Structure 1
């Protein structure tokens, strides 16, 4: 059985630079250049209201989720990615749950994200965890690729 761990990357941790380098490589491999945060990853991590969760399987980086909370009203899951060989094994779901919990601790009332309607597994995962489609944003990713803006509202009684 594989050893799985999700840890928050802290800017001043000893392995931060190496981990960010691995994430940037993965980012470039998974996302088209115009969608990739690879050139901005370090800048994003410097922001006070940004968090990065790293998924390790048997000590190897297998995925990551970046989230931010730009205001007290909402948070955003800005990236969620899993290496191809680790997809379909529940790792994306584990990362999503961890990101939702991290956002919940920020006492926001809503989490938002964007997803390509053609990425059915991702869309189904978000819907499974209560995200709802807010609207379709045409040409969000490129001239021929749209995005759903999705949201998850927290029940204030919890």
Structure 2
């Protein structure tokens, strides 16, 4: 498995526009329009309590995780995505672990996320990292697509 560094995107980074443009392009390709943050990505990242980690392999952004921590009570993983040709190689797991670690350093108690129950690889990844299903939210993504709300308590780890 080829691997590269996990990079945290900083607001004052010289390559901000380039990285955000690459991630927006990836976001549009992976997610349906109504689930995509592409039009709001730059705005989301400029919020005080949000962060983005991305995996750089030979200068290519192959995956990213967008998260926020509104308070010390909880953080939320809004997006986790890996380019199709780089999937099933452990990159999503590396990104998820890095985001969990960032939340841990911010003394967050719980991490929340939503996942389509039909996305078995994503569900398996989250469960492997200790996330548990809290509830099923009917119609979360659309009228015919629901989501599991999942959580990971960090004080227990």
TM-score (norm 2): 0.97
* Corresponding residue of 1:133: 133
**Which residue of the partner structure matches residue 97 of structure 1?**
97
Q: Given the superposition, is the C-alpha separation of residues 3 and 123 from structure 1 closer, same or farther in structure 2, using an over 3 Å criterion?
A: closer
Would the aligned equivalents of 1:3 and 1:59 in 2 still touch at CA under 8 Å? no
The residue number in structure 2 matching 1:14 is 14
Q: Secondary structure at the match of 1:133?
A: strand
The number of equivalent residue pairs is 157
Aligned mates of 2:92, 2:3 — CA distance in 1? 15
2:70 is the alignment partner of 1:70: yes
Corresponding residue number in structure 2 for 1:4: 4
Matches within 5 A, 1:105-120: 105-120=105-120
Q: Which runs of 5+ in 2 are unaligned?
A: none
Structure 1 runs (4+) deviating above 6 angstroms are none
For residues 72 and 4 of structure 1, the distance between their equivalents in structure 2, rounded to whole angstroms, comes to 30
Question: Which sections of structure 1, spanning at least 5 residues, go unmatched?
Answer: none
1:17 aligned counterpart, secondary structure: helix
**What is the CA-CA distance between 1:3 and the residue it aligns to?**
4.4
Matching residue of 1:41: 41
